[in-house]
Amino acid sequence: MSDGHGDEVRAYTVRLELVDEPGELLRALKPIADNGGNLLSIFHERGNVTPRGHIPVEVDLEATPERFDAVVEGLRDAGVNVIQAGAERYSEELTLVLAGDLIGTDLSDTLSAIQDGTDASVTDVSLTAPEGADETASARLRLATQSGEGDAVLAAVREVAAVKDLRVIEPLTGGGEA
């Protein structure tokens, strides 16, 4: 089935710029599916705009190198503005919890600050605010980063949390598997 490393599935990140119109995200995802890309996560934040007034979207996907090249070509052929496409291989994952006034301090801005200040990608967020939006909330974050960058990512998360007066419950390290 595989004649070498060329058929090895890898994780990639593609950064796109989309016009804020209905159907644009779907139009951007179609070439990924059509060319054999397997979606890992999509970070689509309508609250932020690029300097050109478009919506930044980060898509993490798995594909063989050949399929990834076809995905990027398919995106460009479909008229999707590809800002960055590369083999940002995320081989380390961190799961942590932020607690505090997440809603009042703008969780979306917090996530953007973490991604902008690190090489990490936010792959999953789960928010809980049992007492309502005006009280303490917690968010479980799953971050993917390059191997060996976990400490730098945690340091950046601590900095963002300190600015926003949030608590960080960090992952356990060491000790092997549970």
Share of the chain above pLDDT 90, in %: 35
Q: Which domains does the chain have, with CATH numbers?
A: 5-86 (3.30.70.260), 92-169 (3.30.70.260)
Which residues does residue 11 pair with via DSSP β-bridges, in sequence order?
62
- Segment 60-65 shows an average pLDDT of 92
Q: Report the alpha-carbon angle 103-52-80, nearest 5.
A: 95
Cα dist from 79 to 24, 49, 73, 118, whole Å:
11, 19, 10, 29
Q: How confident is the model at residue 117 (pLDDT cuts 50, 70, 90)?
A: confident
Share of the chain above pLDDT 70, in %: 88
Name, in order, each residue with C-beta under 8 angstroms of 122's C-beta and a sequence gap of 6 or more: 41, 43, 111, 114, 115, 141, 142, 143
Does 30 score more than 90 pLDDT?
yes
Three-class secondary structure of residue 132 per DSSP: coil
Does 56 score more than 90 pLDDT?
no
- Segment 20-31 shows an average pLDDT of 92
Q: How confident is the model at residue 107 (pLDDT cuts 50, 70, 90)?
A: confident
Sign of CA dihedral 71, 34, 14, 145: negative
Three-class secondary structure of residue 109 per DSSP: helix
Length of the chain: 178
Taking the whole predicted model, whether its pTM rises above 0.85 is answered as no
What's the number of CA atoms in the CB half-sphere (13 Å) around residue 49?
6
φ, ψ of residue 16 to 5 degrees: the values are: -120, 160
- The helix (run of H) or strand (run of E) holding residue 84 is strand 81-86
Cα dist from 92 to 120, 139, 153, whole Å:
9, 20, 11
φ, ψ of residue 86 to 5 degrees: the values are: -165, 170
